[in-house]
Structure 1
Amino acid sequence: MISSQPQLRAVQVVRYVTPLREGGSLPAIIEADDEFLYVLKFRGAGQGVKVLIAELLAGEIARTLGLRIPEIVFATLDPVMSRTEPDEEIQDLLKASGGVNLGLHYLSGAITFDAVVNTIDATLASQIVWLDCLITNVDRTARNTNMLMWHKELWLIDHGASLYFHHSGQNWQEQSQRPFTQVKDHVLLPQASELEQADAIFRTILTPQRIQSIVSLIPDEWLEEAFPTESALESRKMYSQFLTTRIASSEIFVNEANYARKALI
């Protein structure tokens, strides 16, 4: 089912449970004041709040399209928690991450998607490939699928590497209309035989108004921290225009994906 106006809950971090060392940004499992566990992405880690912005936008776009994403929440962390953490690296991370961070509901017992073992139909594969071309997600390869099987259903995770234009400092208008050449490495590309059908449906769903409502979720403090020389309003406008331009010219990345797929099969 396609969601309407996106809304995110806010929780308070009450306990640091364990680090997830496989992530470059040192995510961790935490407990919140609602007694649920979340995978926390820290604003003080790695490339900072831009990773959180990408995770938020990509996740809520995917949810709007009807794909399965763990619930995303705003998770406020008090840096005083660092006092009880014996690991110095984690201490520094907690100190640097005071304020609003991003949490994703922890899917306990989920297993990593394996393209050899798990069968995905052409419709779902095409939808996921289309999404990743839109958000320029370079991190859905056979080496690192960033997908989980949970209760026999496929869930998408870890979109912090998406929207990489905001790291480059290059002209975002130009990048919004570039083909996504990294699609050639997408783990689901061989099964994605219905890209045109996905494109036709998803373009009608992701209207400029829908994109603006998703972009409006980004906290001003994240935007001000990520782009200190710009106002939050201008930075928000940049994300909205990048995505709406990319959707309007989606035939560019659909054609690139089809070309890459033909080279595989």
Structure 2
Amino acid sequence: MNKIDIRTVDVVQYVQPLREGGSLPAIVKGDDGFLYVLKFRGAGQGKKALIAEFIGGELARALGLHVPELVFMNLDNSFSKTEPDEEIQDLLKFSVGLNLGLHFLSGAITFDPLVSTVDAITASKVVLLDSIISNIDRTAKNTNLLKWNNELWVIDNGASFYFHHNWSTWENHLSRTFPLIKDHVLLQQATKLNDAAKAIELLLIKEVITDVISNIPEDWLLDEADSMTPKDKRIAYIEYLTTRLSKIDLLVKEATDAR
């Protein structure tokens, strides 16, 4: 098993905001010379959205799906001082520290289910992964998928793991399936769910899951409003994912019935 290796990059230039995103992400330049879409820790859902984005992205990559490189990005306090827009100024001020960047895919277009097709096994993997991570935001209204170089790229997993917004009840989610899969943008193209499930079981072994969770920055797991420690939260994420995988047959049936 290849361990994941996440690079850490410093932001050297704020290029432009992406106003189509509710959390106001931005295109920034890193000290490595590349452009990234930066997701801010100071945005609405805060560090929990970054955690969901990170876990979802790295699990998708482990399944062989196309995902832009994810990097940790250091933002210092100099950017907010030169930003004239007050909303962006506040966002930059509250986001000093470690944020999450996705490699910017220049020329990528938003996936449109009316004009684009996806091969059945890829569609099925995306559908089942979103069932596993409880991603409520991959619908026809907001696909959170890109087409780049004629391939499907998975982005924006920040609305996943919604149980972590209330840690006191997280164990209640262990016994649930994911009925909202009925709204998934790729559901109709996901005609190989059983094959995808077999692949997922082979690829998302506990060691892979543990490796992903162990790479979440400690700082992102600290929250005065939560009684759980960062170690407790890591254990909970691993238990949640392994429990979901143990009942992948139920998730397959649920998605098949929804189709």
Which TM-score applies when normalising by structure 2? 0.96
Post-superposition Cα deviations, 1:142-199, rounded to whole Å, max 9, x if no partner, equal 1111111111111011110011111144532331331111111111111111111111
Aligned Cα RMSD in Å?
A: 1.3
* SS of corresponding position for 2:175: coil
Return the offset for 1:5.
1.0
What is the aligned partner in structure 1 of residue 27 from structure 2?
29
d(CA) in 1 for partners of 2:2, 2:141: 34
* SS of corresponding position for 1:114: coil
Choose the corresponding residue for 1:242, options 218, 240, 243. Answer: 240
Amino acid at match of 2:128: W
Q: Is the 2:167–2:226 Cα contact (8 Å) retained in structure 1?
A: no
d(CA) in 1 for partners of 2:119, 2:92: 41
d(CA) in 2 for partners of 1:149, 1:7: 25
Where does 1:220-239 land on structure 2 (aligned, <5 Å)?
220-225=218-223, 228-239=226-237
d(CA) in 2 for partners of 1:173, 1:209: 22
Return the offset for 1:228.
4.2
d(CA) in 2 for partners of 1:172, 1:209: 22
How much identity, in percent, do the aligned residues show? 54
Choose the corresponding residue for 1:162, options 160, 174, 179. Answer: 160
Question: Where does structure 2 lack aligned partners over 5 or more consecutive residues?
Answer: none
Choose the corresponding residue for 1:100, options 91, 98, 101. Answer: 98
What is the aligned partner in structure 2 of residue 66 from structure 1?
64
d(CA) in 2 for partners of 1:94, 1:129: 34
* Cα pair distance change 1:227/1:134, threshold 3 Å: farther
What is the aligned partner in structure 2 of residue 181 from structure 1?
179
d(CA) in 2 for partners of 1:95, 1:65: 36
d(CA) in 1 for partners of 2:113, 2:204: 28
Where does 1:52-201 land on structure 2 (aligned, <5 Å)?
52-169=50-167, 171-201=169-199
Query: How many residues are matched?
Result: 259
d(CA) in 2 for partners of 1:58, 1:103: 14
Question: Where does structure 1 lack aligned partners over 5 or more consecutive residues?
Answer: none
* SS of corresponding position for 2:223: helix
Q: Is the 1:77–1:97 Cα contact (8 Å) retained in structure 2?
A: yes
| Higher mean displacement: 225-234 or 91-100 | 225-234
* SS of corresponding position for 2:249: helix
* Cα pair distance change 1:234/1:83, threshold 3 Å: same
Q: Is the 2:167–2:228 Cα contact (8 Å) retained in structure 1?
A: no
d(CA) in 2 for partners of 1:228, 1:121: 42
* SS of corresponding position for 1:18: strand
* Cα pair distance change 1:116/1:125, threshold 3 Å: same
Amino acid at match of 2:211: S
d(CA) in 1 for partners of 2:205, 2:122: 21
* SS of corresponding position for 1:171: helix
Q: Is the 1:14–1:30 Cα contact (8 Å) retained in structure 2?
A: yes
Q: Is the 1:13–1:32 Cα contact (8 Å) retained in structure 2?
A: yes
